[in-house]
A and B are shown apart, each in its own frame.
Chain A
Amino acid sequence: MPLISDIKAIIAGFGVTLHHMLRRPVTIQYPEEKRVPYPRFRARIVLTRDPDGGERCVACYLCSAACPVDCISMQAAERDDGRRYAAWFRINFSRCIFCGLCAEACPTLAIQMTPDYEICKRDIMDLVYEKEDLLIDGCGKDNSYNFYHHAGIGVTQPRGAGLEERLPVDVRSLLP
């Protein structure tokens, strides 16, 4: 009978309404009261260091390529020891949508999202973060990875002394 099922549906619907009316409110009285987000929460971005204290970012431009709103820019450069690094690195947080694609693209685990969501500013230029504002002194969420130990081209260790490598070939030798 359609009439009975209609009445049932109406009662069920109002039941849900009533249930919500009697629930405790979920509103949080920010800023007096603050929520602690999970570590995976995607907010303010940082540049981390490897366990040896070196800057992880090698200015590979992958995060800036992945960023859908084009808010990352940088300039790569070379240190005397051959290490590639970012001479400058800029994130425009007024444009960032905190999608996390940059962190996902990063091959060195340098760029990471933190749960710090309180980054409102009165002057929009204060939301344009330079490298010195982004770089932190720790490893962030991974405290073991050092890209250069796996990269296979020396730089932080003698050539051939990285993980997963053999010592350099002697091209003048006839021995196998």
Chain B
Amino acid sequence: MPKLIIDNIPVEVPEGTNVLEAARSIGIVIPHFCWHPALGRAGACRACAVKMLDGPVKGLQMSCMLPAQDGMVVSTTDAEAMAMRRSVIEWLMINHPHDCPVCDEGGECQLQDFTIAGGHGIRRYDGRKRTYNNQYLGEFIAHEMNRCIQCYRCVRFYQEYAGGTDFGVMGRAAMVYFGRQSDGPLESPFSGNLVDICPTGVFTDKTARFRARYWDYDMAPSICPHCSLGCNITPVARYRELLKVVARRNDRVNGWFICDRGRFPKANVNALDRPRQPLVDGKATSWDEALDALRERLNGFLELNGTQSLAIIGSPRMSMEGNTMAARLHKLLDTGKICYFSDSVHAGQTLEAVASLTPDNAASQEDVRQADLVAIVGSDLLAEAPMMALAVRQAWRNGAPVYVVGEETSTLFEYVAVASLSDIPLAEAKHPVLICGTNHVGSDIIDTAARNKAKLSFILDGPNAFGCALLSQEYGATPLSEAVASGKIKGLISFESDLTLELPAGIRVLAAADCRKTPLLSRAEIVLPSSAWVEMDGTFINNEGRAQRFKQVMEPGLPIKGLDPAGHPPRLHRNTPPGGEVLPTWRIIAKITERLGSEWIEDPLSDQWERLRELDAEGEGISVV
């Protein structure tokens, strides 16, 4: 562990840390563009100059290129170093357009920040600026090449980190160009990260083009709900509209990046025709009336058919809060069934997968990135959990062999296709990881992993499938298909459920709560509109059993855009925004249980889940395996 002194502050850092990172660790930020924690150094921008006063090297040095060594004495405020940084930034700005006011990066731009930090303020060069033509890069990313400062982060990410082949750098000298051979959508499923990684506004999110500024954003730490990996994100909203999603760093999970599936789809939250008002038999009504109607119908139903004929349906896409509350409703009513999964085979496999994980053998995405052998069994990672494919690629880039049993179409890494698990030399590796799709979970895989001390990662179905599996065990849940096949079920109440099976016509859907317009909702007698995940606090448990908290990002309600025909926001005052009457599903269930005579529940996480109450949304999450 090298010990060095930076600006008179002694610091000790792990072997291999560079001086720039060492300074960062004590809160000294040296301006930099090309260096990025996930991409490493390139020495391309020359902005991070420091003066080495004493030690193995002396004089002006690039702090990102210099590994910290014992005895170094570094000054970041030395006049020579500051003059160098100021000049470098002045050079970088020579060709930079004068367009911050119309650039979406403005306010969250590293170039703005470091230009100020570097001390360059007034343009002295009066020559003409170099310009480029832009390219059409698809519906998601806007391109403005004039803003480029040639830091090479984009190509290093796109080609090296993410394995993309259709984007690169061309041209020469002061005329290098970052783009595609010709116009066309970027092919990589991780292309959205260009927006985050480019320190200037060359790549901006087209889906949020010209909408808001950083200082006006509504944002909060959140978790991606689009697959079971639980990547950390920061959704950004303004005027009750979800504008964009950016990656949030979590070194154990997604690192610095997210996939495009997690980044770009926003329609579920912003849809104008989302359920926004309680409905009874298709007619809009108030919460009180809807809940009263539900109580009456429920009592009538239970009297007629008995409690055993009612099923409560939870869902792998619902938060832990909602799912535990569904179980409490089931207990309160003593209903026949509680169901979290539709299909019985699938449910069995998910439960088996979850049961086989322990704190020692559950592999996080970081474990996969650090693995020295990766085996993939029956999972098309790019389709089911894109960031896992990216993690496998990092292991492969570090030299780990990748073996695939069954179908894998990814071009992110080279792999050896094998016929069966036994053909993989798991025993030769020190940190092997086995990745397995839910459909292929079986005792053979679990045993093989245990024998070879391999870590396991299962790709589950839904952001909270893990939590649902644990609750299934706790409450003895039945898959819905089984419950229906038993013939006893005559009615159900569903919460955020995406049923995959055709529900027999004889079964009444007494009530359904959801934030999306699902087919089930059109069948429900009572529709209870619920909050989308960005409109509430909650918890998801990801595929490795890591419970992670997401915080409320925005107030629910119809987006201001389009509300008033005159174009501007309404000139009437009101207390609640129109369409803002939705409630988090767990609260809806708490209201139902209150109507049914039990006490009001203030905190949905009870019993063994109480330990999740204090979960820190900015932390790494806690393991519940």
Contact = CB atoms under 8 A, between A and B. Distances in A.
A60 interface: yes
Interface stretch (B124-132, B341-349, B519-527): B124-132
Of B128, B215, B568, most buried by chain A (CB within 10 Å of CB) is B568
A3 B384 CA distance: 98
Nearest to A174: B172
A151 B106 CA distance: 14
A78 B208 CA distance: 11
Interface residues of B, number: 41
A152 B131 contact: yes
A176 B211 contact: no
Contact of A61 (B126, B130, B216, B566): B216
Interface stretch (B93-101, B248-256, B590-598): B93-101
Interface in A91-112: 107-108
B129 A75 contact: no
B146 A152 contact: yes
A159 B133 contact: yes
A169 B130 contact: yes
A167 interface: yes
B132 A169 contact: yes
Contacts of A59: 210
Contacts of A73: 569
A166 B130 contact: yes
A150 B129 CA distance: 11
Given A153-B146, A169-B132, A76 B212 contact: yes
Of A88, A153, A176, most buried by chain B (CB within 10 Å of CB) is A153
Contacts of B216: 61, 64-65
Interface in A127-176: 128, 130-131, 147, 150-153, 155, 159-160, 164-169, 171-172, 174, 176
Interface in B138-185: 144, 146, 170-173, 175-177
Contact of A151 (B98, B212, B215, B569): B98
B405 to A, nearest CB: 44
B101 A166 contact: no
A174 B170 CA distance: 11
Interface in A48-63: 58-62
Contacts of B98: 150-152
Task: Please give me the 3 A-B residue pairs with the lowest Cβ-Cβ distance, nearest first.
Answer: A152-B97, A60-B101, A88-B568
Given A84-B102, A88-B568, A108-B101, 5 more contacts: A58-B102, A84-B210, A88-B569, A90-B569, A152-B146
6 contacts: A59-B210, A60-B101, A61-B215, A128-B571, A152-B146, A167-B131
Interface of A: 58-62, 64-65, 73, 75-78, 84, 87-88, 90, 107-108, 125, 128, 130-131, 147, 150-153, 155, 159-160, 164-169, 171-172, 174, 176
